Structure 1
Amino acid sequence: MKPAAICFFDLDGTLLTSDSVVAPSSVQALQALRAKNIMPIIATGRTLCEIEHVLEATKMTSVIAMNGQYVMYDGKEVYTNPIDVAEIKALHEGAQSQCVEMAFYTEEKIRATAQNEIMEKHYRYLGEASPEIDAELYLKEPIYMLLLLLEQGDDFFPERYPYFQFVRNTPFSNDVVPKGGSKARGIAKLLEVMGFEDVPTYAFGDGMNDLEMFEAVDYAVAMDNAVPSLKEKAAFITANNNEDGIAKGLRLCGLLE
C-alpha cells in the first residue's frame, strides 16, 4: 500500500538523544505516524548492524543506510550501490601512505584495516566497540561505505581520489562514498523503485550530511541543535534532540495533532 506521506529521520543528534537512545515521546510519535499510514524511515550514515537497537526500539523496518548506498523498504532491499574494488584499493594505498587507517562497511558488518588511538576514539564517540580487523574485506564482499580515521589531513584525499566524496562526520573520521552518493540519492532511488514520486516527503536532521537530504524532500525540519547552514534550508525548526524535538516537529508539520 502506498503511504500517505514519508518521513526520513537522521539518527545522531536527531532521532537519538545525546545518550544515543530514542526518546519515549519519539517512539510514541512514530507509532502514531504508522497509524495514519505515514511511513517513518531512518536516513543515516550508519550501517544496519550499528542500528539494531534503534530498529528494535522503534519497530521501524525501512532504512536509507550508509549515506544512501544501501536502501531497505519494509524489510526488503530495494537499492544498493557497492563501491568499485579498484577504487577502494587505490584509496587504501593512499591512506596507508599517510598512516591513516580505514573501516569498511557492508550491510551486515564493519571491519578495520588496523587498530589505533583514533579508531578507538571514533567508535567510543559513537558509543560502539571498535570493529574487528580485516584489511582485505573489500576483496571478498561488496562494500558500500568507507571511513577514513583521521583528526586532520583531510585535504590530502579529495584531489587525488576525485571519484569519491569525503564528508567529515565526526571529529575523528570522514565518511567516504562514491561521487554523487548521498542520503538524497538513496531517497530518490527509493521513491523511484517503489513508485512513490507523488508521495509527500519530510526530513528531520541536524548535520552537514543532511543538507542534500533537505533539498530532496518537500518539507525539511531542522533540530534546534542543528548546524546553522542546515537551519537556513529548513521549512521548520523544532526543539533539540533532548527535548522531544521529533514529536514537536511532527506537530509543526501538521502530521500529528
Structure 2
Amino acid sequence: MQTQAVIDHITHWLKNYAATARANGFVVGVSGGIDSAVVSTLAAKTGLPTLLLEMPIRQKADQIDRAQAHIDDLSSRFANVSGRRVDLTPAFDRFADTVDVDEAEYPAKQLALANARSRLRMLTLYYYGQINGLLVTGTGNKVEDFGVGFFTKYGDGGVDISPIADLLKTQVYELAKALNVIESIQQATPTDGLWDNDRSDEQQMGASYPELEWAMSVYGKQPPEAFEGREREVLEIYTRLHRAMQHKINPIPVCEIPPELLIKS
C-alpha cells in the first residue's frame, strides 16, 4: 500500500465532501482504539474544525486514558482540533434501569444493552454534529463494515461518511504508524468497549483480524471444506458472520404495493 498517497487521498476526499455538503467540519467519537484515532487524525489534517468526543459508558480506565491522551496529542498538533468529554454513564444507567427485564426470561438482554451503548453514542454524536454543523464521521474498517458486520446497526453504523471503510484493519495500522498515532493506541488490544467485562474483538468474533482478512479474500472462491485445521475453522466463522450481517448493509426492505391495489375499487 502507498501509505502516504492513501493518507492524502482520504484527506482530500474528506475536505471535498465537507465542502460539497456545506458542512463546517467533522465530529468523531474517540474510544482509545486504532480506528477512531486514525479517522480523527485524517479529519484533523483537512484543516477543518474537528471535534473529538470521548463518550465513556462504564469504561475501563485504560480506554479512557488512551482516548484522552489521543485528544491531548491531536489538539497540540492541530489548531483546528478540539475535544470534549461527555460522560454517558448516568444516562445509560437510567435507561438500563428503566427497561430492566429478567435475564433468565430474555437471554439477549446483555447484547441488547451493549448495542444500546453504541446507539446512545450515535445520538450524542449527531447532537453535537448538528449544533456545530459537523459531519458524523464513521470509524469502521472494511472487515467490520462489509465482512463480518462487527458494528451496531444505527449505533456506530449510523454515520454520515466512512473514510476508512475501504481499508483492511492491518492497513489501518499502517496508516496509524505513518500518522504518528500515540504508541499506547497502536499497541492496544482491539475492543469495542461495549461490555463490562472488556472482552476483546477477537474473543467476540472467534478470530483475529488478519485471519478474518484472509477469510474475506477467499470467501466465495472456495468452501470451508476445501481447507483443514484452523483455516477451515476461520472460514466457517467468517461465513457464518458474513451471512448473518446482511441485514446491516442491505437497504431496509420495503413492501412494494401492487399498483392495482392502490386504485379505489
Query: Could you say whether these structures have the same fold, taking a TM-score greater than 0.5 normalized by the shorter chain as the test?
Result: no
| Structure ranking higher in helix proportion | 2
What is the TM-score when the length of structure 2 is the normalising length? 0.27
What is the TM-score when the length of structure 1 is the normalising length? 0.28
| Structure ranking higher in strand proportion | 1
